[in-house]
Amino acid sequence: MEVGAQLIHRVDNVSSHPGQFVEFQNELWFAAETRAAGREWWKTDGTTDGTILAIDVVDGPASSYPVRPLEFDAQLFFGAFGSQDLYRTDGTASTRVLEGTGVNHISTAVRTTPHRSRPQLQIGSYPIAIVNNRLVAQHSTGGGADGDLRRLVSFDSATATPYDTGAVAGKSKLFPLGHSVFFDAFTVVNDHLVFRSTRSFYSSRSTFLSQKSKIYGTDGLTTETLSLPLSAGGVNGYPAFLDNLETATNGLLRFAAAKACANDGAFTGMVVIQTDGTEVGTQVTAARYELWVNQLDDNGNQIAQRIDHNTQLTSLQVDLNSSLSTGNYAVWLRVISNNGGNVIQSPWSEKTNFTLS
């Protein structure tokens, strides 16, 4: 018997661009576009007769552009690019849960799909994940000349009043000399939602200046900062950008953080941080350490370089008496981590002088 794909139902005589697929109430729901109803929710049970328009959020040929569906408490929550609102449906009708105004909101008469390069700036309110039996969603409000205010809220039931978790992305006044702020990289770890908040700075509509990020975690009720107060070269620093967020394993999430000096924003290296989703459970992790020792004279001047160099230390408990003679020395340490098969080296520590006698 030959098995292959077959057309179940032709939604329209032109391409309907189906997407946003999600299983709900034992049927496959998806967003599709028709000339009669615009881009709305459709559903199918796998048969021609069972493939129908599920709900028309915006009546007539106008579109709601439903995105990011997530089932919670027997209801399907989703965002709507066309209105920037958060909706839910029981399968028969839609209910607006939160009214939102997203950054860079553009009339659907001008743009009919989310911005391809910056979708997070276009979709204002949407469900994110379920943690601790609570639905966490982004609520985007504000708009106008001062830009957008983004908060993470949570629900303990489909019809409950949203609870403010305390996570605020801040206002975004894009131009001139403005910035945009958004949340992304959402990952659930131990009943906590870990996410990144990124702030991008611009000097004009087309000139990008810099970007800074921090990592946060929320249990759906409160939000903690998970980014560590990193330092480099004696200058307090901060994670300038974060990347390579791995899938959480063994209750831990690992990510790489670029370190930048607070005075000029220059990158000074990378570290790997692991977190269990809480502030106290967030720390720099190391596969091994590298040790570098120089010999100094009585005035602190270097007289011999790298007289002790070890790249395979697995502990910070090091006995240098066995390898060094009496005298004055300077020592540096750095962390060597593995992230996704890539070796990542932290900046060197500040120099520490010591004397063996």
Q: Long-range contacts: 128-131, Cβ < 8 Å, 24+? A: 128/68, 128/70, 128/152, 128/186, 128/193, 128/195, 129/70, 129/186, 129/188, 129/193, 130/70, 130/72, 130/188, 131/188, 131/191, 131/192, 131/193, 131/218, 131/219, 131/220
Residue 259 CA, chain-centre distance (Å), reads: 18
Please state, in angstroms and rounded to a whole number, the distance separating the CA atoms of residues 32 and 40: 6
- Listed residue (273, 189, 195) closest to 230, CA to CA: 273
State phi, psi for 164 to the nearest 5 degrees.
-80, 120
The neighbouring-strand residues paired with 44 are: 28
The structure's pTM equals: 0.68
pLDDT at site 303: 93
List per-residue pLDDT tens for the chain, 357 residues long: 455 666 666 666 567 889 999 999 999 999 999 989 999 999 999 898 999 999 999 888 888 899 999 999 999 999 987 677 899 999 998 898 987 654 333 222 223 333 333 334 456 789 999 999 999 998 876 554 545 677 899 999 999 999 999 877 654 444 344 566 778 778 888 899 988 877 766 666 556 556 667 788 899 999 988 766 543 332 233 343 444 455 556 677 776 665 554 444 444 555 667 788 888 888 777 667 788 999 999 998 999 998 999 888 876 677 787 788 889 999 888 777 765 556 767 777 778 888 888
Q: Do β-strands 179-189 and 163-168 pair in parallel, antiparallel, or remain unpaired?
A: unpaired
Please state, in angstroms and rounded to a whole number, the distance separating the CA atoms of residues 80 and 349: 49
Please state, in angstroms and rounded to a whole number, the distance separating the CA atoms of residues 134 and 152: 12
Report residue 5 as tokens.
């794909």
Nearby residues of 132 by Cβ (< 8 Å), 6 or more positions away? 191, 219, 220, 221
267 and 258 in contact (C-beta within 8 Å)?
A: yes
Q: Burial code of 315-333, b = ≥16 C-beta within 10 A, e = fewer?
A: eeebeeeeebeebbbbbeb
pLDDT at site 269: 52
